[in-house]
Copies of this chain bind each other. A is one copy, B any other.
Amino acid sequence: MPEATVVEAVNQALTLEMARDERVVVFGEDVGRSGGVFRATDGLYGKYGAGRVIDTPLSEGVIAGASIGLALAGWVPVAEIQFLGFVHNGFNQVVDQLARVRYRSAGRFSAQVTIRAPYGGGVRAPELHSDGFEAHFAHAPGLKVVAPSTPYDIKGLLLASIRDPDPVLFLEPLRGYRQVKGEVPEGDYVVEIGKARIAREGTDVTLIAWSGAVQLALQAAEDAQAQGISVEVIDLRTLVPLDAATLAASVTKTGRAVVLQEAPLTAGFGAEVVATIQEEAFFSLQAPIRRVASPDVPYPVQMLEEQYLPNPERVLEAIIATTRE
């Protein structure tokens, strides 16, 4: 199978779906002629033209909001937000409008909309470009939140997201954009939304991560193995709806869990993962579920990134600690 990076996988999915479904329109800041600041939409403008690959004014609110109207008009909008943090500028449009089209209209209307946004730290981006805000969108009923880590899943889940009849926030790991490579089938395939993936099997501790942090989790699992601890790594792939069954099955087996989250600790999505696991598998748990996260401070500028983000040592520490309890 041919290999691709994450951003190439995104590009493949978009290219394929625009060919397959003429209703798909791609728009956002700088997605057109320039192909997006990360080149995720590279080549689309040339292939599908200015009518379907459209640069918008610099306004996340109207990108999100207009996507609803485009959907109502019969299009299948795939909007790019340049960096997830900037969706905050259109938070009301995403949470109070886009996510509620079907619900507000009691089913009369729906919004088959995908909002793609790269996010996450570790790439020495300026302030506000790296923040891990997924939790804000996980608490927005009506919105699905997909956050895969591998090129394979990126392509398959992006295709599934675009075809999903309801709005999906599709999070792409900035850190993996050009670094993470993997096998990606050339043709059409979908990965089901709402299903986690066992990224590595193990028996002693379940380690849960998503998006850019999965690589880190695998690294930590490797380190733990060297110390004789067998770690099962779960790549959530979808945050909402959360695959509670896979979590429960794994923790029932291991009895221990560590949740890894890049975002600041408090009220991050990791809390939901913890709450769900202890609801579903409490009597298997032999130790408190630990969270490894960034401290409760905003994402710092570049020189402090490394200290800020969870690192393999901290994850390993938590893994070891949980096995000692």
A contact set with B: CB distance below 8 Å: 85-86, 88-89, 91-92, 95-96, 99-100, 103-104, 127-128, 133, 135-136, 138-139, 141-142, 240, 242, 263-264, 266-272, 274-275, 278-279, 282-283, 285, 287-291, 296-298, 325
Contacts and interface: CB of A to CB of B under 8 A. Distances in A.
Contacts of A274: 271, 274-275, 278
Please give the count of copies of this chain that the complex contains. 2
A141 to B, nearest CB: 5
B85 A266 contact: no
Given A92-B89, A96-B85, A142 B271 contact: no
Contact of A141 (B287, B291, B297): B297
A17 B4 CA distance: 61
A139 B136 contact: yes
Nearest to A263: B139
Contacts of A285: 282
A141 B131 CA distance: 11
The 9 A-B residue pairs whose C-beta atoms are closest, nearest first, are A282-B288, A91-B91, A88-B92, A138-B267, A139-B267, A274-B275, A271-B271, A271-B275, A271-B272
Contact of A298 (B135, B141, B242, B287): B141
